[in-house]
Structures are given as C-alpha cells and as structure tokens.
A = this chain, B = another copy of it.
Amino acid sequence: MGDVKLLGTWPSPFSYRVIWALKLKGIPYEYIEQDLLNKSPLLLQSNPVHKKIPVLIHGGKPIAESIIILQYIEEKWPQNPLLPSDPHEKAVARFWVKFADEKSLSIWKVFRFSGEEQEKGLKESLEMLEIIEEHAPGLGQKKFFGGDKIGMVDLALGLVAHWMGAIEEVTGVQIMEAGKFPRLEAWMKNFKEDPVIKENLPELKDMLAALKRRREIHLASK
C-alpha cells in the first residue's frame, strides 16, 4: 500500500473531503498541516501548478485537487465504494460532483467579500441550492445522494452541509432559509449524523473563531 500523507489546512472543507474518503475506506494516513501564508517546500514541490491544498502523497507520489484525489482513492482502494458501478449512474454522480465542486465556490464569495460582490455570491449560492433541491437524483428519497451509503457527491457537498452554516453566522448573511430546501435540509442532517462524518467534522466553535479571523484578513486585504 505504501505510506499515505495528506497535506491540508484546518478547517478547509477541501481537506475534509479527502479525510472523509480515507476514513470511509479505512486507510491510515499522516496528516501534515500547511501554512498557506508561508508555503512549505513540500507543498510547492508537490503541487507546483496551483500551490494549493489538499495534496495526497502516496508512496512518494503527489496528487493535487480534492476531486482528483477522491477519484484516485476510489480506484486505489475499492472497498466501501464512493461511486456507483454502473457506468451511466457513475457519470451522473460525476456530473453532480463537478457541479458541487464548481458551484459551491459561490459560498466562499459570501464569506470573502462584502457589498456587491457578496450579493452576487449570495445570488449564485441560492441558484446552486435551488438546482440541487430540484434536480439532484435520489435527494429526498434516500439518505444520501447515491443511496443509503455516503458517496462522492455527498463528500463534494460537505461545504454546504457544515461550513455554510458557520459562514452564515460569521457574515450575518442568511443563505439557506429554513423550510425552503426541505430535501437538502434532510440530507444535511443525515450527512452530519453518519458516524464517520460525525467523528471527523471540525468543532463549530473553533471553526467560527478561525473563519472570523480569516474573514477579517480578507476584508482588510482588499
């Protein structure tokens, strides 16, 4: 199997995507916290293109980008599959993973910005949530996106399940009005109650403090 290292930052939802996948598969790993204000030679050398976390290093070979890492983990360790085996169902899951990965960035706009840019982020976030609520297959019928077990779409949307609420609290901007997205709300509850996820979620209190500090830096550096 070789040794597995994960370069991440706390409490990044992108790091957590990888943490959850490794935990769900039962793969031991060494977590190496990174300082993004003072990037380590290991990070720069492992991800010279984007210089971002997370990076998975397996047997000395680095892989960057959380979604690419999830696919690698899925292929390398097939136990407790994160994607359906049927090719069409797999394509549908990948479609929603890509959607989550690209569109959930709008939630960061609410977090990082103020004024007009934040308004734009809020509008895009609502569009994203509405599309998921209306179109995501299986949502509202089963516990998770892919069925009764957590899969890659759930991991890709972890930001919505746990970080979004903290961002609402830190910014004072309400993104998800209670009762407006009943199927997503039920999924968020199921997701956070799953034993593996529950054990591997950042504490809300610590997250709030960290996000508050980071938001101040963002707003001050504009």
Binding site for B on A (CB under 8 A): 48-49, 58, 61, 63-65, 67-69, 71-72, 75-76, 87-88, 90-92, 94-95, 98-99, 131, 135
Contact = CB atoms under 8 A, between A and B. Distances in A.
Contacts of A63: 88, 91-92, 95
A75 B87 CA distance: 7
28 contacts: A48-B135, A49-B95, A49-B99, A49-B131, A49-B135, A58-B88, A61-B88, A63-B88, A63-B91, A63-B92, A63-B95, A64-B95, A65-B95, A65-B98, A67-B98, A68-B91, A68-B95, A68-B98, A69-B91, A71-B91, A71-B94, A72-B87, A72-B88, A72-B90, A72-B91, A75-B87, A75-B90, A76-B87
Nearest to A90: B75
Q: Which 9 A-B pairs have the closest CB atoms?
A: A72-B91, A63-B91, A75-B87, A76-B87, A61-B88, A68-B94, A68-B95, A49-B135, A68-B91
